[in-house]
Chain A
Amino acid sequence: RKEVEQDPGPFNVPEGATVAFNCTYSNSASQSFFWYRQDCRKEPKLLMSVYSSGNEDGRFTAQLNRASQYISLLIRDSKLSDSATYLCVVLFVSGGYNKLIFGAGTRLAVHP
């Protein structure tokens, strides 16, 4: 089983749609959680951290369920510029060092 698993995608949605991405992680000792966005041939950029109480940043809402080891990202009112690959990322400590584990990513394509 992969340490971080995401929806397979791709998601093709019209502008204005609401889209939800899901992610599960296997290591219960995971400490921090993030959603990153990666555009084609570019490095990942942090979209938002995910807090236990859930958090919102504009059109983006992230949720964490530690009991189910599940993370979600909701994008409302999709824009063309939201087209990218969204990476679910989990941080945990291993051997005294921090490790970030990336999901395979879910590709989102927003069309007019």
Chain B
Amino acid sequence: GAVVSQHPSWVICKSGTSVKIECRSLDFQATTMFWYRQFPKQSLMLMATSNEGSKATYEQGVEKDKFLINHASLTLSTLTVTSAHPEDSSFYICSAIQALAGFYEQYFGPGTRLTVT
């Protein structure tokens, strides 16, 4: 099946610094990618929808100036957590949509665990 990678798989950073997370679709082109966040023992929460060549669409309550999303190509979307704080520590997961003959398959990346100290 299709593969989505994320980099890094885990990162520890100091409060106030920025962290960039990459999401790549390895063997297909994805016009749409999604970014999710998951806190311990909670479900995935959609943060934003990333569309190639256009601005991301953010969910209510997600600060677009804090979580910068760039979808510069059909295989790469990046999420930058700016001025990270300990409350931003979470599991960030991306997914990519592959359109197949009239229906959609969604593939998740393995996730990036962010710890802000």
Contacts and interface: CB of A to CB of B under 8 A. Distances in A.
Interface string A84-102: 0001000100010111111
A44 interface: yes
A1 interface: no
Given A99-B46, A104-B42, A43 B57 contact: no
A73 B88 CA distance: 33
Interface string B53-74: 0000100000000000000000
Contact of B43 (A91, A97, A98, A105): A105
B84 to A, nearest CB: 20
A91 B45 CA distance: 14
A112 to B, nearest CB: 24
Contact of A44 (B42, B44, B104, B105): B44
B49 A87 contact: no
B32 A44 contact: no
Contacts of B57: 95, 97
Interface string A73-86: 00000000000000
Contacts of B95: 100
Given A98-B32, A98-B97, A103 B43 contact: yes
29 contacts: A32-B103, A32-B104, A41-B91, A42-B110, A43-B109, A43-B110, A43-B111, A44-B44, A44-B93, A44-B108, A45-B108, A46-B106, A87-B43, A97-B32, A97-B51, A97-B57, A98-B32, A98-B49, A98-B97, A98-B104, A99-B46, A100-B34, A100-B106, A102-B43, A102-B44, A102-B45, A102-B46, A103-B43, A105-B43
Across the A-B interface, give the 8 residue pairs with the lowest CB-CB distance, nearest first.
Answer: A43-B108, A104-B43, A102-B44, A43-B111, A105-B43, A102-B43, A43-B93, A97-B49
Interface of A: 32, 41-46, 87, 91, 95, 97-105
